Amino acid sequence: MNLRNIYTYILAALLLTLPLKGQDPLTLTVALEQALENNYGLIISRSDVEVAQINNNWGTAGRYPTIGFDASDQINYELNSSTTANRVSAGVGLNWLLFDGFSVSITKSKLENLEDLSSGLLAVQVESTIEDIVLGYYYVLLQQERLQVLETVKQLSEDRYEYELKKQSLGGSVTYNVLQAKNVYLTDKANYMNQEVVVRNTIRNLNFFMGLEPTQTWTFKEMFEADTSDYIFGDLLTRMKSTNQILKNQFTNLLLKEDETSLRQAAYYPTISMGTGIDYGHNWAMSGGTENLNLGTLTPYGNVRISYDIYSAGVRRRGVEIAQINEDVAKVEIDQMEHALTNELYNLSDYHGVQLELLTVADENLEAAELNMSISEEKYRSGVINSFNYRDIQLIYLYAALNRLQAVYNLISTNTQLTRITGGYLGYASDETP
């Protein structure tokens, strides 16, 4: 099965927000669907994106005016003259920052870049989750395949033990051979039982990545096989530089540093603000039981204010210098990240080529070990080889089978890492999803 097609389908499913399906058969597609919807890290990252989207607003940036209302009621009593005075006041005012060195537009740009960065971090979390699920799913298959190999070896040891028991009952085998066969059988049985625990643990770990209960059990439907296609390094490098999400996030971070520099430079401009509103006041007074004042006022007002900070002890200059240094650091971090990713890609590409060859060697080795096992069983029963030789050949088969399984998993792991570093998990989806 081509893993890339599976990744494409799953990412499309994420966009469609498919509901969970609690089915016992578990394919890689279903595992990814559930993880992309229920993984704890993704839920948190989506919340961060939602917060950034809410903040990305012209009102947050300061483009729009603010309107306020206030009211008060003050009562005074003069003891000497027995005079009571009451003042009620209320007002509605509008304040609007008309110009602040283009800081409103710069702040809005910064909010947009923060939203983009949050989305980029979510994309990295999605890629990481997909990689965890793919490797976790095939790690379960690896352990199940190992369990089958150990079961085969255990069955061979059991057959050998029963064979020695029958020979002993017929007088053809001594107690030493029976005990030796029994010890081998019990050792293989213990290995098999321990592997059963490993399989259950790996399934529980996969359930955790999918956000499901640890008691959920599955029937795994995928074949344990690796894509043996080779890659052209130049294509991988080009794809990595253009679509790697971590590298994209570094460029977004650079834009944020540039916005910060612009904000610091905006402090050199004057600010212009406007205020307008209307105030209402009512004064009432009574002395000796006689009302001597009852006056109401309604006062509209409007003003324009221009302010400029002539001298700030070098605060603005130092702020701009620090922001420019941070901007230069962000550029260096991009070069560093690209260099590190290029090195990682070289390493993965070399490792992938070696894993392809190792899988071929492991296939040939297993084929020879299986043939040797088949021949040795007949030789053992016919007495040509002894029990120690037969056990050695069993172990050779065991190690060959386990090495072959590990070679398959290593190749799957390398393919997965190459897909991640070249942005394949998100890149293929955006290219092929309508």
Asked if the structure places residue 306 within a domain, the reply is no
Asked if the structure places residue 141 within a domain, the reply is yes
The one-digit pLDDT tens for each residue of the chain (434 residues) are 343 443 444 444 443 334 444 447 999 999 999 999 999 999 999 999 999 999 999 998 989 999 999 998 888 877 767 778 888 889 999 999 998 888 999 999 999 999 999 999 999 999 999 999 999 999 999 999 999 999 999 998 888 888 888 888 887 777 888 888 899 899 999 999 999 999 999 999 999 999 999 999 999 989 999 999 889 999 999 999 999 999 999 999 999 999 999 999 999 999 999 999 998 888 877 776 677 777 788 889 899 999 998 888 889 999 999 999 999 999 999 999 999 999 999 999 999 999 999 999 999 999 999 899 889 888 877 888 887 888 888 889 999 999 999 999 999 999 999 999 998 887 433 433 33
Asked if the structure places residue 83 within a domain, the reply is no
Overall domain count for the chain = 1
Instruction: Say which residue the tokens 């947050």 belong to.
Output: 60
End-to-end CA distance of the chain: 22
**What is the Cα 274 distance to its own chain's centre?**
47
How far is 56 from 49, CA to CA, in rounded Å? 10
**Confidence at residue 282, expressed as pLDDT on a 0 to 100 scale:** 83
Q: Give how far Cα 337 sits from Cα of 250, 340, 417, 419, Å.
A: 8, 5, 17, 18
**Confidence at residue 111, expressed as pLDDT on a 0 to 100 scale:** 94
The 10 Å Cβ neighbour count of residue 296 is 10
SS3 302: strand
**Confidence at residue 288, expressed as pLDDT on a 0 to 100 scale:** 67
How far is 240 from 335, CA to CA, in rounded Å? 14
Asked if the structure places residue 324 within a domain, the reply is yes
Domain of 132 in residue numbering reads as 3-38+101-270+313-432
Asked if the structure places residue 56 within a domain, the reply is no
**Confidence at residue 174, expressed as pLDDT on a 0 to 100 scale:** 79
How far is 263 from 107, CA to CA, in rounded Å? 8
- What's the predicted TM-score (pTM) here? 0.81
What DSSP state is assigned to residue 307?
E
Asked if the structure places residue 153 within a domain, the reply is yes
β-pairing, 271-287 vs 83-100, is antiparallel
**Confidence at residue 430, expressed as pLDDT on a 0 to 100 scale:** 41
**Confidence at residue 78, expressed as pLDDT on a 0 to 100 scale:** 74
Asked if the structure places residue 66 within a domain, the reply is no
Asked if the structure places residue 61 within a domain, the reply is no
**CATH at 221:** 1.20.1600.10
